[in-house]
Amino acid sequence: MSYAEIEWNNGIPRSALFNDVYFSESGGAAETEYVFLQQNDLPQRWADLDRFVVAETGFGFGLNFVITANAWLQSSRQGACLHFISIERYPVSPEDIDRLAEQFPELRGLFDALIKQYPPPLPGMHLLEFAEGRIKLYLVFDEIHSALQQITHEVDAWYLDGFAPARNEAMWSQDVFSLIARHSKTGASFATYTASGQVRRGLVQAGFVVQKTAGHGNKRDMLKGQIFEKRSFKTSEPWYLWRPCETAHRQVVVVGAGLAGLSVAWALARRGWHVTVIDKHDSVAAEASGNPAGLLMPRLSQLDDTDSRFYSNAYVYAVNALEKLQNNSDKLFWHQSGSVLLTSADKTSKLSQQYSNINEFVSFQTKQKLSAITGVAVNRDGFEFTQAGWINTQQLCECLAEACGDALTLVSTNVESISRTDDGWKICLDNKEDIQSNFVVFANAASCRSFSQLEWLPIESVRGQLSYVPATDKSHVLKCGISAERYITPEQDGIHVVGASYSAANDSTELDLADHQHNIETLHQVLPGIIDTSVDIRGRVAFRAISKDRVPVVGAVPDRTAFLRDYDDLQHGRISKSYPAATCLPGLFISSGHGSRGLTTCLLSGEMIAAMIAAEPVPVEKQVMDYLNPARFIIRQLKRKRV
């Protein structure tokens, strides 16, 4: 994916691909106000609501979003949140958006906030937040039909804003209209500048009541309408169907005070929820999240697949979230110095082709260039992530806890068990009074399996050992983190962090000299002689949580007994059979199995769970939700009949 080619004519942008303008010469702002806000009866409809969802089929320069966001800030009730979902197959570059923004000085602040967070042209859903969370933009870079299939929330108002039907037929197909109807609330509205008969008939066929009305400027007519009756539809994988539930009790218990648990707590606290975090230790980040330094970088893939989208989008979200956290903290935990990835020659060649057009995200560099970038001699070609960096993980966790403020209560004790009652979940604590809550989130790594509701999950602890090595004349000039078979961070107080070993068989908490030696020897394969091996090396041992398929486990906890009953015959492959929707344990969630990529994945995973609990649009595509869903292990076993 690459940025759209824009042609400018007297301040009006035109798509070179579709040979059509992004808005009329009569004025883009006035057109948006009339076509989309007025014809959807906005802002009157949202005046007394706590939440409103707008979806748009064509983000373009973001003008519709910025004008809608501005209207929301001026007219919505305090504490209410606008959720704006926008789809764009051909992203406009931030430079072109900045050029357009010069024409709208009254909207400059919102445009600047958009440009600052604007993601690189990576496929998938990107969450951007504005006005301290009062506005959330879900920017989906994808083809329209695929993107609409990935929406997981019902919409209040639609902006149908693609290029003209004659120039971009894919945006106005019957399949698109049917998907729009499927994702609409009863009573949802739409508005579009076009008055095409094809569009009118397609929307009517999809279930909308369509009305022709006066167009904007020199345009005679346009269409608007509403949908009043929801049609039933069959989903291909009902075992992954997520059904949010509203609640008046804005309280959650999180088990685990590491990065996964505190990411959930921070996401909920920003929504005004109170979170009780329970951990057996007296301080946060006492186990794997207590590492003094780790690298933040995405996991590159040779394919545009679900795994690639999740890790790339999580990385982009983490960079923005870390900047917000760092700006509000006195502790320096986020060092945005860039990072370098070194892989095998064959893999480097393939990856450089896959990511050749996304220099804003990652760029291929020769070993000579990487040596200049890092400040040390590098013996392989590789990749540079200019927005990446290294993190003091323990201090990040402390910052997350502080950012929650009074919304967070930390309890130091063991959770003995949890059980379902008429009032939700009873959390039985060791030597403390039981706690009652409608929502419980397990974020305690592999220890989650000690509870009966999750003992079936294939998550294990894997030992990792870091080596703390003194800086040398060669190493102290290291400017950024380098990752290969092992990683090394720039020195802090004269010490580099090198890591980490990987051992599923070793459960010792004692430092192992052989692991230190292997860490250093592996590092020397790409950075020869950078570390002095004759000095005493200290270190730290911690245990990562790893799932069987090496993918994080994030989402609602399934009712395994119900799954075994409802989907017992999946191994027969009866595609035509109608199966019931998934039965989950109400109010029970998990964020675990983040392995060695927790710095990349935990923050977005926390936001994802918070959105599910708060019954908001989830900030990932449906295919990513399904990919992370803990129910995947049960479904795989049923399909193979191995339960």
The CATH number of the domain holding residue 374 is: 3.30.9.10
Within-domain flag for 15: yes
Please report, for the domain that includes residue 585, its CATH number: 3.50.50.60
The residues near 228 (Cβ < 8 Å, ≥ 6 apart) are: 186, 187, 209
The 10 Å Cβ neighbour count of residue 204 is: 13
Residues 146 and 47 in one domain: yes
Q: Minimal CA–CA distance to 226: which of 259, 199, 203?
A: 203
- Cβ pair 547, 605 in contact under 8 A: no
Strand 6-9 vs strand 12-15: parallel, antiparallel, or unpaired? antiparallel
Tokens 């994945």 correspond to 601
- Cβ pair 153, 83 in contact under 8 A: yes
Residues 31 and 96 in one domain: yes
Domain final residue pick, 167, 201, 233: 233
Burial annotation 87-110 (CB, 10 A radius, 16+ → b, else e): bbbbbbbbebbbbbbeebeebeeb
171 three-class SS: helix
Within-domain flag for 328: no
Tokens 């445009």 correspond to 111
Residue 315 phi, psi (nearest 5): -65, -45
Partners of 274 in the β-ladder = 251
Tens of pLDDT along 225-248? 999 988 877 788 899 988 887 777
Q: Minimal CA–CA distance to 342: which of 352, 334, 354, 356?
A: 352
In eight-state DSSP terms, residue 428 is E
- Per-residue model confidence (pLDDT) at position 643: 58
Residues 72 and 51 in one domain: yes
Residues 402 and 450 in one domain: yes
Residues 448 and 356 in one domain: no
Within-domain flag for 137: yes
Point out the residues of the chain with pLDDT beneath 50: none
CA 423 to chain centre: 32
CA gap 308, 311 in Å, rounded: 5
Residues 381 and 509 in one domain: yes
Q: Minimal CA–CA distance to 549: which of 628, 446, 465?
A: 628
Residues 273 and 366 in one domain: no
- Cβ pair 506, 419 in contact under 8 A: no
Residues 259 and 365 in one domain: no
Residues 21 and 31 in one domain: yes
- Per-residue model confidence (pLDDT) at position 642: 63
Q: Minimal CA–CA distance to 492: which of 341, 306, 291?
A: 291
- Per-residue model confidence (pLDDT) at position 55: 97
Q: Tell me how many degrees the CA angle 35-40-46 measures, rounded to the nearest 5.
A: 130
CA 112 to chain centre: 22
Write out the DSSP string of 9-44.
ETTEEEETTTTEESS-TT-HHHHHIIIIIITTTTTG
In which domain, by residue range, is 382 found?
339-386+460-545
Domain final residue pick, 515, 545, 575: 545
Within-domain flag for 368: yes
| 138 torsion bin: left (phi>0), alpha (psi -120 to 50), beta (else) | beta
- Per-residue model confidence (pLDDT) at position 432: 85
Residues 605 and 507 in one domain: no
- Cβ pair 419, 425 in contact under 8 A: yes
Write out the DSSP string of 274-300.
EEEEEESSSSSS-SGGG-S-EEE----
**CB burial of residue 63 (10 Å; 0-12, 13-18, 19+):** buried
Q: For residue 611, give the H/E element and its range.
A: helix 598-613
Residue 498 phi, psi (nearest 5): -120, 130
Residues 625 and 554 in one domain: yes
- Cβ pair 155, 189 in contact under 8 A: no
- Cβ pair 15, 9 in contact under 8 A: no
Overall size of the chain counted in residues: 643
Strand 294-296 vs strand 389-391: parallel, antiparallel, or unpaired? antiparallel
Q: How distant, in Å, are the alpha carbons of 122, 158, 229, 598, 606 from that of 61?
A: 17, 17, 33, 33, 29
Within-domain flag for 292: no
Residue ranges of alpha helices (H) inside 556-597 are 560-566
Within-domain flag for 293: no
Within-domain flag for 502: yes
Q: Minimal CA–CA distance to 548: which of 593, 591, 506, 505?
A: 593
**CB burial of residue 1 (10 Å; 0-12, 13-18, 19+):** middle
- Cβ pair 182, 227 in contact under 8 A: no
Residues 86 and 166 in one domain: yes
Domain final residue pick, 496, 529, 545: 545
- Cβ pair 239, 217 in contact under 8 A: no
Question: Would you call the peptide bond into 610 cis, given omega within 30 degrees of 0 as the criterion?
Answer: no
Reading across the β-sheet that carries 435-437, which strands appear in turn?
415-421, 424-429, 435-437
pTM of the model: 0.94
Number of domains in the chain: 3
Strand 334-335 vs strand 363-365: parallel, antiparallel, or unpaired? unpaired
In eight-state DSSP terms, residue 422 is T
- Cβ pair 466, 497 in contact under 8 A: yes
Q: Minimal CA–CA distance to 391: which of 301, 322, 473, 463?
A: 322
Tens of pLDDT along 506-525? 889 999 989 998 999 998 88
Within-domain flag for 323: no
